[in-house]
Structure 1
Amino acid sequence: MSPHSPAPAAYHTLDTDGIRAFLAGVPALAARLGGPAAHWRIREVSDGNLNNVFLIDGPQCGVCFKQSLPHVRVDPAWKMPLDRTFYEAAYLREIRPCVGALTTDILHFDPDLYVLVVESLDRHVVLRRGLMAGGDWPDAARAVGEFVAHGTFRTSLLAAPFEEITHRLDVFSGNRTLTRITVDLILTDPYRDHPRNHWISPELDSIAAEIRTDPRVRRRVGAMQARFLTCRQALLHGDLHTGSIMVSDDDTRVIDGEFACPGPIGFDCGLFIGNLLLHLFACRDSGGQDRAVRNIVQFWTSFHDTFLELWRTSARQDGNGDAYATTLFRNDPSGLRQAQADFMQDVTTDTIAFAAMEVIRRLVGYAHVPDFDTIPDLAARAGRQGAALALARDLLADPGLVTSIADLASLARDRTG
């Protein structure tokens, strides 16, 4: 049993009556909802693989209730520890001061029932669903880039001494179960024969086999496995895709941080760009494809420029980060600029590789994306997925194929036909 697991008798899964009683028993939550508990409206909105999620509306306000299950929600035979909401709560406590209103506010966490309560975003829509329906939120990609920049810079050794950063990140090193899922489902399974893998067959059999057997792909994948597991650059969200973003006309929020772990900054960037690439290949109209390319470039530009500005500001103010210490470059501003350019190019290189791996795992691995469901004809759907897989294979086989995100977006647009 992990340090955060309850005694067996303490945990039980709450139904709607149990949720109502639980919220009524927490004065701050009851006051937030307002009115008598019997009048609260409770509706289940679980659509992920891991947790039970409910929205509760009261006369005054609403809340979002999330409880870990002792198994994968969609597969009760796949047993899981309960500490997922513990790590999501820890992530929110750590990252909210860094990113402000770009994520949700944590309202309550119960360590015995593994219940996390956050503010409700019921007036928002999931970005993936909105994009699939043809919606457009021109500011969303910029906001996500800003989120990643602030979250990763402020939890990195560029921003603070190693003693502080190590202390802040160590708790997330315990998130081993979900990190194992990441290692298996994203970084390993798609490159070997595994019963969890599946794809449109026989149409994609050939490209799936090429990805598994190409020695250049295997070498690159091995390097990225090592990069993910050994490079503790910053605190990662760990599951940053378009289904983890909530948007409204004037607001963007990043949610679902239970996969949080220390790792390379390019991993979060790559996951998000990988999902935008998937949406690009799933789009059948040129307008949607153009918007997808715009979103990729806007995300990266926002992340890149915000991250560098945070770094420059820290350097001007004699920041106390132990990496690229300001004392090294106090009299050498051009040297600092070159060091920053080199650092960001490394992040770019990681981002491109992880984006390719995200595309592959979402088309031949365990957890697919619904974006391509908008293409009713199976042959056409397979053709689009095959083109996306071919691009991802080429990016891994030839790391020099593109060296910038703008070039990646342009190449992907060309490959959509």
Structure 2
Amino acid sequence: MNAYQLIKKKRDGAELFDNEMEYLISGFVDGSLPDYQAAAFLMAVYFRGLTPRELHTLIELMMKSGDVIDLSLIPDKKIDKHSTGGVGDKISLILAPLVATAGVPTPMISGRGLGHTGGTIDKLESIPGYRANLSIPEFKKQLQQHNLVIVGQSDRIAPADKKLYALRDVTATIESLPLITSSILSKKMAEGADGFVFDVKIGNGAFMAEETQAVKLANMLTENARRFGKSATAYITDMSQPLGLTIGNILEVKEALATLQGQGPKDLTRLTEQLGAETLLLAGKVDSLEKGRERIQELISNRAGYLKFIETIEAQGGKRIFMEEPDRLPTAPVKMDVRSTRRGFLQRIDTLDLGLMSVKLGAGRRHIDSEIDPTVGFVLHKKIGDRVEHDHILLTIHAASQADTDKLVSQIQKTFTISDQFIDPPELIKYRISDNPIYPWLVS
């Protein structure tokens, strides 16, 4: 078999056979095929796409390139939630302990932040002592004993994805929907879950800004998950402004703890309730979304989800005292308020720029091996649609030095657009995609 001929075949729009896909992917993983040929294959896929059969084969090959965790001995349907990422998205920290408390085994292999979007593992590792790197036996034991485990991706889970993603990042092929789908599903199915709730973000702070592309991705994720016998539902949700009020690792952990005790922002709480209800429905724990939302609300009001979070963090090495008394968590030494220069209504937030500025502060990574400062970030005081008076506080910077804040104040002011006209807040939940064709969000 010849890699050149296979790349040419894909470039010209022909369908690759399963054994041809296997030859290419195994060669990329074991190093027998050079990176420049892998890059050429990725570019051919970027322009030509993949047929349903090719995509199914690619997902399976990537999944089986490393360990596939067998959770069949753990009773009940195991459900995971995956978000395509956004600014201030700390839903997993809140949702996972809630659904675990409701009886849903929740295995999560989560990512670290890269670029303007934060990572679940970075947030959890800001808690002193937390261990995100567990062996597979430890992973299973944690799930069996606590109904919840959240770890980072190891080199043994879908190594083909790690190699291909690194190439996609430098070959301008990141945006390919089939490659995104294979990347997400290969990792998620390797963790042993039976079903998935996908949260696909759209808006100026999302990985995908355009609604049409987000809908295509959501459909591709759910359809391909079902081809592997998995349950799957997807939501298209708004990321035209940060989710909740905090951006930055420790700040977001504190907000998650507050939300688990019924003191969180409305948008963060509402989306948690909806995605949590969907998880319970997929797992067969409720027979309607309404009952699912009621159950999630109950677990917030009685603090059972909060106690599960503490239990899980402690079981993975985190110090309990920091969860019970979050003010003990480290804080940034410098805080500065950014104030409005006029009155009116907050019309727009440049969420992408805010995310990138948080990276400049040290809250995120410019490169995969960059160090982060878990204490820094932003706290918002205004959201889209809010009334703003002159000199009102729009945002508070949490920084490591005064010099860091001085550089950002004028830039941050430019990310907020204030107008005389009132504007309704953006709709948080756009669409739900289940077994039926896509339809606009309805409360049902």
* TM-score (ref. length: structure 1): 0.29
* TM-score (ref. length: structure 2): 0.28
